Chain A
Amino acid sequence: MRMKNTPIRVIRMADHIRFVLNDQPVELDGLSPMTTLLDWLREHRGLRGTKEGCAEGDCGACTVVLERADGHREAMNSCIALLGQIDGQAVRTVEGLQGPGGAPHAVQAAMAESDATQCGFCTPGFVMSAYAFAAGGERADLDTIHDALAGNLCRCTGYRPIVAAMTRVAGLAVEPAPQLPTRTGSASFDDCFHAPRSLAELVALRARHSEALLLAGATDLGLLASRSRKPPAAVIHVAHVPELTAVSETDKQVTIGAAATYAQAMPALTSNYPGLKTYLARLGSRQIRTMGTLGGNIGTASPIGDMPPVLIALESRLKLTSTRGAREILLEDFFLDYRKTALVADEVIESITIPKLWQGEAFFCDKLSKRRDQDISTVAAGYRLRIKSGRIDDARIAFGGMAATPKRAIAVETALKKDGFAAAIAAVETEFKPIDDWRGSAAYRLQAAKNLLRRLELRVTSPGQAVEVEAL
Chain B
Amino acid sequence: MKGQIHTAHRHDSALKHVTGQALYIDDIAEPPGTLHAALVLSPIASGRLKKLDLSAAASSPDVVAVFAASDIPGLNNIASPGKQEPLFAEDKVEHAGQPLAMVVAHSLDAARAAAERVKPDIEPTEAILDVQTALAKQAYVQAPSTILRGDPDAALKTAPHTLTAEFSVGGQEHFYLEGQIAFALPGEDGDLLVHSSTQHPTEVQHICAQVLGCEYNRVTTMVRRLGGGFGGKESNASWVAAAAALAAAKTGKPVKLRLPREIDIIATGKRHGFDYRYTVGFDDQGRVLALDAVLAADAGFSLDMTPGVVARALTHIDNAYWIPHVRAVGYSCRTNKQSNTAFRGFGGPQGVLVMEDAIDRIAHRLGRDANEVRALNFYGPAGDETPYGQKIEENHLPRCWAEVKQLGDWQRRRSEVDAFNKANPVLKRGLGLFPLKFGISFNLPHLNQAGALVHVYTDGSIRLNHGGTEMGQGLFIKVAQVVAEVFKVDIDRIRPSATSTAEVPNTSPTAASTGSDLNGWAAWDAANAIRQRMVAFAAEHFGVATDDIEFADGNVRIAKPGSNQVMSFGEMAKLCYMGRVPLSSTGYYKTPKIHWDGVAMRGHPFFYFSFGAAMAEVAVDTLTGESRVLRADLVQDCGASLNPAIDLGQIEGAFVQGQGWLTCEELWWDKQGRLRTIGPSTYKIPGSRDVPVVFNVKMLENAPSREATIFRSKAVGEPPLLLATAVWTALKDAIAAAGDHKQAVRLDAPATPERVLAAIETVRTAAQ
Contacts and interface: CB of A to CB of B under 8 A. Distances in A.
A373 B754 contact: no
A159 B691 contact: yes
A150 to B, nearest CB: 6
B19 interface: yes
B690 interface: yes
A149 B687 CA distance: 8
B648 interface: yes
B17 A438 contact: no
A371 interface: yes
Interface string B399-411: 0000000000000
A48 interface: yes
B340 interface: no
Nearest to B18: A108
Contacts of B109: 229
A51 interface: yes
B16 A120 contact: yes
A61 interface: yes
B384 interface: no
B570 interface: no
A447 B260 CA distance: 36
A169 to B, nearest CB: 12
B177 A153 contact: yes
Interface in A354-402: 368-376, 378
B497 interface: no
B680 A49 contact: no
B757 A447 contact: yes
B684 A370 contact: yes
Contact of B18 (A58, A127, A440, A448): A127
B424 interface: yes
Interface in B199-258: 225-230
A162 B649 CA distance: 11
Most chain B Cβ neighbours within 10 Å, of A46, A98, A156, A375: A156
A35 to B, nearest CB: 10
B178 A121 contact: yes
B681 A56 contact: yes
Interface stretch (A190-198, A262-270, A330-338, A451-459): A451-459
B695 interface: yes
Contacts of B168: none
Nearest to A58: B680
Interface stretch (B144-152, B312-320, B574-582, B616-624): B616-624
Contacts of B620: 469
B709 interface: no
B672 interface: no
A55 B621 contact: no
A157 B226 contact: no
B157 interface: no
Contacts of A152: 688
A136 B619 CA distance: 33
Contacts of B167: none
Interface in B749-766: 752-754, 757-758, 761
A472 B20 contact: no
Contact of A115 (B22, B174, B176, B648): B648
Contact of B754 (A104, A112, A440, A468): A440
Most chain B Cβ neighbours within 10 Å, of A47, A117, A368, A468: A117
Contacts of A472: 427, 429, 619, 628, 630
A371 B690 contact: yes
A49 B21 CA distance: 6
B689 A115 contact: no
B500 interface: no
A145 interface: yes
B673 interface: no
A455 B227 CA distance: 43
Given A153-B685, A159-B688, A56 B680 contact: yes
Contacts of A112: 10, 14-15, 17-18
A401 to B, nearest CB: 13
Given A371-B664, A372-B689, A466-B424, A111 B628 contact: no
A146 B688 contact: yes
B20 A368 contact: no
B590 to A, nearest CB: 29
Contact of A150 (B225, B472, B474, B689): B689
Contacts of B680: 53-54, 56, 58-59, 153
Contacts of A444: 625, 753-754, 757-758
Most chain B Cβ neighbours within 10 Å, of A94, A109, A468: A468
A444 B26 CA distance: 42
Contacts of B414: none
Contacts, number: 272
B472 A119 contact: yes
Interface stretch (B433-441, B652-660, B698-706): B652-660
Interface residues of B, number: 89
A59 B177 contact: yes
Nearest to B113: A229
B106 interface: no
A95 interface: yes
A178 interface: no
B687 A153 contact: yes
Contact of B261 (A55, A142, A155, A160): A55
Contacts of B688: 145-146, 149-150, 152, 154, 159, 162-163, 373
Most chain A Cβ neighbours within 10 Å, of B29, B680, B761: B680
Q: Interface SS of chain A: helix, strand, loop or mixed?
A: loop
Interface in A206-263: 227, 229-230
A47 B19 CA distance: 11
A121 B757 contact: no
Contacts of A440: 753-754
A468 B174 CA distance: 30
Most chain A Cβ neighbours within 10 Å, of B472, B630, B687: B687
A115 B626 contact: no
B338 to A, nearest CB: 16
Most chain A Cβ neighbours within 10 Å, of B175, B621, B752: B621
Contact of A469 (B29, B474, B628, B684): B628
A142 B668 CA distance: 32
Given A155-B175, A155-B685, A466-B424, A95 B652 contact: no
A146 B20 CA distance: 23
A437 B753 CA distance: 14
A158 B653 contact: yes
B657 A155 contact: yes
B473 interface: yes
Given A155-B228, A472-B427, A122 B177 contact: yes
A155 B427 contact: no
A448 B676 contact: no
Nearest to A149: B688
A156 B649 contact: yes
A229 to B, nearest CB: 5
Given A150-B689, A438-B666, A469 B112 contact: no
B677 interface: yes
A113 B623 CA distance: 43
Given A104-B19, A470-B628, A120 B691 contact: no
Given A153-B685, A438-B677, A469-B626, A119 B176 contact: yes
Given A51-B177, A112-B17, A370 B664 contact: yes
A104 B20 CA distance: 11
B18 A104 contact: yes
Given A48-B27, A98-B19, A121-B177, 14 more contacts: A47-B20, A50-B20, A95-B19, A97-B19, A115-B646, A120-B227, A121-B472, A155-B657, A371-B664, A371-B684, A372-B690, A437-B676, A448-B624, A451-B757
17 contacts: A56-B261, A56-B679, A104-B18, A108-B19, A111-B14, A119-B225, A119-B472, A227-B260, A230-B113, A368-B753, A375-B684, A444-B753, A455-B624, A467-B623, A468-B621, A470-B628, A472-B427
**10 tightest A-B CB contacts, nearest first:** A49-B20, A119-B472, A121-B227, A120-B17, A118-B472, A158-B656, A438-B668, A158-B652, A94-B20, A58-B680
